[in-house]
């Protein structure tokens, strides 16, 4: 019970209602004491009417009148004259006097609490105003034992009634909480458990139907989360299937390219000057294609292989990229400008850096060709104390919003129609393997600039 929401709510409600009843009890018991004393004053005034009707009454009648009124003496002041109307022997001296005519609420509450905590039977004097203005004041003497007993009896009845009210209120609230909160929450938990058992099944997604605003907001948030997760799981499954297909295709393509590589030896023996000049480029392209297929197979098994570091001439890599791109025929003239000095050496994996720069240059060239006008791509480098910074800049149209929102996300960051978005994702992963990072420096109508950071040490920059 203590570990459930409704059980704790039941207990807290009972406690709070009891506290409220205790706060009500204090002024209530004070009011009861005041009514009790005023009732004795009124009875004493009625008893005194017998003497006013007849100046002489028998002692037995006087004693009976005082017993019925519950007092020992009755003093009535009329016309500024204080007159002892009824009297009887007092068993002990008077200890206190209480004037009810001008008593404030704090005074009445304090007197009531004091009486509850005083177990002795004392004789007190009580002064009040006669009913119906039958004099200036009426004064009585009485004992406090019956008063305290009546106050205790009244208090016990009040506490019992408070307990019944608190329990009844708590039970009603317990039922209401279970209907309004606990049952809908259990429904949400049931949806979550069924969805967790089969997250790919869209039928397990919750349907918001709670009437309480907060619960409905929670259901809507859960529905959104489940929907996105289901789509992500389906996409992951499709990507896994695609990865398997790519691995099979790469395996077969590697075999085909390996066979083609055997024929390049014969092409190199040709006497045609143009063939002899282009043959090394063809050999290098086929070799890189075979390496790419092998890398794709490795990626399908685990992840991109770790780079093999060595001292590499960056200018030669950029020249190879430029020559490879210029072999692709196009109606648009795109100039690839290499501004990196020839002696510049960097520490990297030659094939992986070639793939990174090739991806960036190719993306820039395709963006410029899509505009139908000539353009220029510039590859530059600057050296700092801890890193080399390679910059690939173009004067193309800039990246569209869709590409910016998913820049390095596979299959979502494509900037052109038909693009997969794999190029930038692979490039970023390769640079990350070097301990560096690939970032978009700026883009806009004036062009796009990507920056590659390659650390000089073993740690990441």
pLDDT score of 192 more than 60: yes
pLDDT score of 112 more than 60: yes
The pTM score is 0.43
Question: What pLDDT sits at residue 420?
Answer: 47
For residue range 322-353, list pLDDT tens digits in order: 888 876 656 778 889 999 988 889 999 998 99
Closest CA to 359 of 448, 410, 422: 422
The pLDDT-based confidence of 61 (bands split at 50, 70, 90) is: confident
Distance, CA of 289 to chain centre: 50
For residue range 93-107, list pLDDT tens digits in order: 989 999 988 888 889
Question: What pLDDT sits at residue 2?
Answer: 62
Q: Where is mean pLDDT largest: 3-7, 35-39, 183-187, 418-422?
A: 35-39
The pLDDT-based confidence of 461 (bands split at 50, 70, 90) is: very low
Question: What pLDDT sits at residue 394?
Answer: 93
SS3 of 442, please?
A: strand
As a whole number, mean pLDDT of residues 167-189 equals: 80
For residue range 373-385, list pLDDT tens digits in order: 889 999 999 999 8
As a whole number, mean pLDDT of residues 131-147 equals: 83
pLDDT score of 451 more than 90: yes
> Regarding predicted confidence, which is higher, 155 or 278?
155
Total length of the chain: 461
SS3 of 176, please?
A: helix
**Region of poorest pLDDT, from 33-37, 39-43, 161-165, 404-408:** 404-408
What DSSP string describes 316-369? HHHHHHHHHHHTS--SS-EEEEE-S-TT-EEEE-HHHHHHHHHHHHHHHHHHHH
The pLDDT-based confidence of 47 (bands split at 50, 70, 90) is: confident
As a whole number, mean pLDDT of residues 50-69 equals: 70
The pLDDT-based confidence of 419 (bands split at 50, 70, 90) is: very low
Closest CA to 369 of 406, 395, 400, 342: 395
pLDDT score of 15 more than 70: yes
Residue 122: CB atoms within 10 A of its CB come to: 17
């Amino acid at each position: 019970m203590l570990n459930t929401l409704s059980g704790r709510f039941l207990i807290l409600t009972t406690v709070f209602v009891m506290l409220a009843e205790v706060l009500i009890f204090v002024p209530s018991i004070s009011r009861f004491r005041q009514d009790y004393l005023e009732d004795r004053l009124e009875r004493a005034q009625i008893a005194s009417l017998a003497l006013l009707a007849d100046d002489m009454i028998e002692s037995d009648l006087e004693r009976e009148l005082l017993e019925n009124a519950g007092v020992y003496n009755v003093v009535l002041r009329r016309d500024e004259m204080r007159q002892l109307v009824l009297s009887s022997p007092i068993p002990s001296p008077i200890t206190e006097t209480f004037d009810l005519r001008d008593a404030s609420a704090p005074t009445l509450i304090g007197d009531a609490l004091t009486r509850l905590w005083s177990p002795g039977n004392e004789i007190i004097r009580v002064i009040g105003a006669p009913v119906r203005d039958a004099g200036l004041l009426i004064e009585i003497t009485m004992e406090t034992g019956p008063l305290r007993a009546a106050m205790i009896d009244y208090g016990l009845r009040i506490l019992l009634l408070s307990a019944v009210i608190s329990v009844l209120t708590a039970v009603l609230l317990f039922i209401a909480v279970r209907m309004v909160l606990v049952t809908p929450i259990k429904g949400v938990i049931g949806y979550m458990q069924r969805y967790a058992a089969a997250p790919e099944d869209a039928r397990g997604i919750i349907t918001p139907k709670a009437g309480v605003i907060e619960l409905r907001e929670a259901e809507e948030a859960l529905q959104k989360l489940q929907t996105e997760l289901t789509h992500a799981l389906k996409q992951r499954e499709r990507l896994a299937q695609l990865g398997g297909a790519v691995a099979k295709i790469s395996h077969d393509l590697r075999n085909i390219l390996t066979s083609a590589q055997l024929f390049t030896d014969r092409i190199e023996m040709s006497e045609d000057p143009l063939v002899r000049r282009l043959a090394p480029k063809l050999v290098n392209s086929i070799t890189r294609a075979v390496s790419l297929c092998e890398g794709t197979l490795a990626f399908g098994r685990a992840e991109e292989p770790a780079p093999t570091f060595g001292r590499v001439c960056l200018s030669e890599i950029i020249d190879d990229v430029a020559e490879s791109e210029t072999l692709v025929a196009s109606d648009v003239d795109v100039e690839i400008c290499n501004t990196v000095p020839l002696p510049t050496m960097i520490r990297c994996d030659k094939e992986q850096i070639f793939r990174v720069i090739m991806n960036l240059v190719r993306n820039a060239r395709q963006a410029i060709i899509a505009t139908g006008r000539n353009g220029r791509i510039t590859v530059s480098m600057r050296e700092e104390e801890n890193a080399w910074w390679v910059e690939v800049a173009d004067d193309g149209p800039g990246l569209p919003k869709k590409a910016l929102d998913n820049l390095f996300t596979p299959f979502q960051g494509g900037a052109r129609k038909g693009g997969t978005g794999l190029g930038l994702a692979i490039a970023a992963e390769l640079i990350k393997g070097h301990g560096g990072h690939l970032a978009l420096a700026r883009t806009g109508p004036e062009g796009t600039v990507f920056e590659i950071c390659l650390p000089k040490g073993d740690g990441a920059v």
